[in-house]
């Protein structure tokens, strides 16, 4: 692994707030009577990073991040930072779990006691690069990717759109907006909502806990939904080959187009209303297993 500083034309640094520092800042703000921190009037700073391959991981903390692909030769980063000690750096050829390697770009800011900090980043990644994003305590927006996107977020909302690639999402304490996706989708979410619209994929998988899930315009061959303590509302535009739902303490509303389905419903403590006719031996299957929740299975057309 090798570390590289930003391109020589810039030598500034970027952002990571620890939880302890964030709490200290909040307390200090109350004691000192500090106002709300704003980026208004902050001049942007820019740098770029050369990649050693076609895989990059970008991490940030306590800041909002917007990431898009572009016709560039290096990763372009622009930041707006108020307060703290910002830094940014790249480490080449970090080993990935399961094999392979990635370049790691870390964006951080050290925020000291009695100091309020705020940061925002806009990032452009060369086309043809697989992108992994990790955000802690900040909102993340990504759009336009075609070569693979994986996102991990803690305490922040996600807005992902216009993607033509496989998408993997893992969140804790944040809402997800997912729109206009062509490619397999895997979502794992805890304590937040998922709103997905216009998804076309071979496989669509959601595992949620304490999260409401609403999906519309779904065209997928295989749909697997697992939820606990959160309602499911799914509308499909094309006949699926296989739908499997396992839920606990959740209501389910599932609408599918007219077609031949073999339907299996197992429920414990909940009402069931199915308008979809079950045909034994049909090539398309719908399997629903619920505990403590109502089921409404209907046609979407």
pTM of the model: 0.84
Whether the pLDDT of residue 90 is over 50: the answer is: yes
pLDDT (0 to 100) of residue 12: 34
Longest CA–CA separation in the chain, Å:
71
Whether the pLDDT of residue 271 is over 60: the answer is: yes
pLDDT digits (tens, 9 = 90+) for 133-147: 999 989 999 999 999
pLDDT digits (tens, 9 = 90+) for 12-51: 333 333 333 333 334 433 333 334 678 888 889 999 999 9
Whether the pLDDT of residue 265 is over 80: the answer is: yes
CA separation for the pair 272, 240 (Å, rounded): 21
Q: In 167-176, which positions are buried (b, 16+ CB within 10 angstroms) versus exposed (e)?
A: bbbbbbebbb
User: Which position has the token pair 């739902």?
Assistant: 245
pLDDT digits (tens, 9 = 90+) for 192-228: 999 999 999 999 999 999 989 999 999 999 999 999 9
Q: Residue range 287-300: average pLDDT?
A: 93
CB 153 within 8 A of CB 174: yes
The dihedral through the CA atoms of 195, 167, 210, 221 has a sign that is positive
Residues in the chain: 301
The conformation of residue 100, written as its DSSP 8-state character, comes to: -
């Amino acid at each position: 692994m090798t570390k590289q500083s930003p391109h020589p034309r810039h030598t500034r640094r970027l952002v990571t707030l620890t939880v302890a520092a964030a709490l200290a800042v909040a307390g200090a703000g109350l004691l000192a009577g500090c106002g709300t921190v704003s980026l208004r009037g902050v001049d942007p700073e820019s740098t770029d990073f050369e990649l050693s391959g076609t895989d990059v991981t970008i991490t940030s903390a306590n800041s909002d991040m917007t990431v898009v692909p572009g016709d560039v030769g290096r990763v372009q980063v622009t930041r707006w930072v108020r307060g703290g000690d910002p830094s940014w750096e790249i480490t080449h050829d970090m080993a990935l779990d399961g094999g392979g390697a990635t370049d790691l770009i870390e964006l951080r800011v050290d925020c000291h006691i009695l100091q309020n900090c705020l940061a925002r980043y806009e990032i452009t990644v060369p086309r043809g690069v697989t992108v992994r994003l990790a955000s802690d305590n900040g909102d993340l927006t990504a759009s336009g990717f075609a070569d693979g996107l994986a996102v991990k977020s803690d305490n922040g909302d996600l807005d992902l759109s216009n993607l033509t690639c496989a998408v993997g999402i893992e969140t804790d304490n944040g809402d997800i907006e997912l729109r206009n996706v062509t490619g397999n989708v895997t979502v794992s979410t805890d304590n937040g909502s998922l709103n997905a619209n216009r998804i076309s994929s071979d496989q669509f998988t959601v595992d949620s806990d304490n999260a409401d899930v609403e999906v519309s315009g779904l065209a997928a061959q295989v749909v697997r939904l697992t939820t606990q303590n959160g309602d499911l509302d799914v509308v499909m535009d094309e006949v699926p080959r296989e739908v499997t739902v396992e839920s606990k303490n959740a209501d389910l509303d599932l609408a599918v187009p007219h077609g031949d389905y073999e339907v299996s419903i197992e429920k414990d403590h909940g009402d069931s209303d199915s308008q979809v006719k079950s045909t034994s031996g049909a090539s398309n299957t719908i399997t629903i297993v619920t505990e403590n929740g109502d089921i409404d299975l209907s046609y979407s057309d």
